Amino acid sequence: MAYHPKSEFLNVMVARGFMADCTDLQGLDEALVAGVVPAYIGFDATATSLHVGSLIQIMMLRWLQKTGHKPIVLMGGGTTKVGDPSFRADERPLLTAEQIDSNIDGIKQVFSHYVSFGDAASDAVMVNNAEWLDGLNYLEFLRDVGRHFSVNRMLSFESVKSRLDREQSLSFLEFNYMILQAYDFMELHRRYGCLMQMGGSDQWGNIVNGIDLTRRILDDQVFGLTSPLLTTSDGKKMGKSQDGAVWLNADLVSPYQFWQFWRNTTDADVGRFLKLYTELSVEECERLGALEGQEINDAKIVLAGEVTALLHGREAAEAAEATAREVFEKGGTGDDLPTLSLSADELGEGISIVQLIVRSGLAKSGKDAKRLIAEGGAKLNDADLNDAGLFMTPGDLAEPIKLSAGKKRHALVKLA
């Protein structure tokens, strides 16, 4: 018989589609009912921002706090120096300590929108694993921690096995990552009373290692919970758009661009994404997700608005929607559109339309821009653009111009 959770947190996880596996569902449920459960998710500082692919984990931490428990945001200041090999085809480039610290500063900005930090029982804390990893004595670590790990078992984990099966190199540095992550869980339990690690289902092996290590060394029980690895209904990895990663920091992806990403969700994904990325009731998410025809577009606008409001604030979400309506329904330019500003020196005597399309981010290369024009997908001020040899002079740019790639992607070009 299936187990029915009593705790609010696990009920939310199941009902909204966050849960893939749990190491001990009943034991975790009892702990969640008994009192405040501190739980963590780790984020490596490989870039100055997290992207949409991390949003499912961030929402799990948000729901943890909303249901009365304590989120621990673990920044991998130490583990980023090694690099997680999970399901990667190659080794991550190594970053300097300065780059890692700078990345952590950028990532911190995101979390303040989703969880509240402080000193109360269910207030979130942000911790950097460099605190305990940077000072490790290698020989002591091998003796006290390394002896609890079986290489045979480590080789059987899917994240390692998939690399070896493809005969792709896995460095000893990366192989150590899972030991360090297991050690993180034990240290967080020792220092902060952390009872649970959460993560994507690709982290299952690492989480189980941490549970085993904590039991072997401290003789304590801790728990693991994973979320499904999310792909869109057409099989694409979540967090990527036509223009690359959809970052969560506004200086990398504007609120309008972020809103537009969600507005472009495939019909089949709307209901699922509403449950995962908004706080609308499950019933409302299912109602909106079941809409068809023109009405599903209204559901996508609700999705875009709710997700953008959580990250950038309600005002930014409403401004993004207003810009979209102006651009799509009224043929306007919209103040919040991605904008390319050219100085007089940059412009010189003029610039080709192909260069403008590339520099405004609507195409990745001149070849892509020319193909876009040849296939009839480009517009200039809402009129079809058919001439790839068009040359724009300073006079042509006296007023801002609007470039479009297809029906959904637009940019402004103006003189600075």
Both tokens of residue 225?
């919970």
Both tokens of residue 206?
């690492």
| Residue pair 205/233 in contact by the 8 Å Cβ criterion | no
pLDDT score of 87: 42
**Residue among 103, 26, 109, 39 nearest 73 (CA):** 39
Burial category of 165 from C-beta neighbours within 10 Å (exposed 0-12, middle 13-18, buried 19 and up): exposed
pLDDT score of 415: 76
Both tokens of residue 335?
């103040």
pLDDT score of 336: 63
Report phi then psi at 158, rounded to 5. -60, -40
CA angle 349, 351, 356 (to 5 degrees): 155
Q: Compute how many other C-beta atoms are within 10 angstroms of the C-beta atom of residue 99.
A: 16
Both tokens of residue 109?
């900005």
Q: CA 32 from chain center: how many Å?
A: 26
Distance CA 85, CA 413 (A): 41
Both tokens of residue 374?
């040849």
Both tokens of residue 302?
């609700």
**Residue among 351, 331, 332 nearest 341 (CA):** 351
Distance CA 223, CA 203 (A): 13
Please list the pLDDT of the chain residue by residue as tens digits (416 residues): 478 899 999 999 999 999 999 999 999 999 999 999 999 999 988 888 899 999 999 999 999 999 999 999 999 888 787 655 454 444 556 778 888 888 988 898 899 999 999 999 999 999 999 999 888 888 888 888 888 887 777 777 776 777 677 767 777 767 777 888 899 999 999 999 999 999 999 888 889 999 999 999 999 999 999 999 888 777 777 766 555 688 999 888 889 889 989 998 999 999 999 999 999 999 999 999 999 988 999 999 999 999 999 999 999 999 989 888 876 655 555 556 777 888 877 777 788 889 888 888 888 888 988 988 988 888 887 778 888 888 887 777 766 788 888 877 888 887 77
Q: Residue 343 carries which side chain, given as an amino acid letter? A: S
Q: How far is CA 232 from CA 86, 123, 236, 245, in A?
A: 20, 33, 5, 14
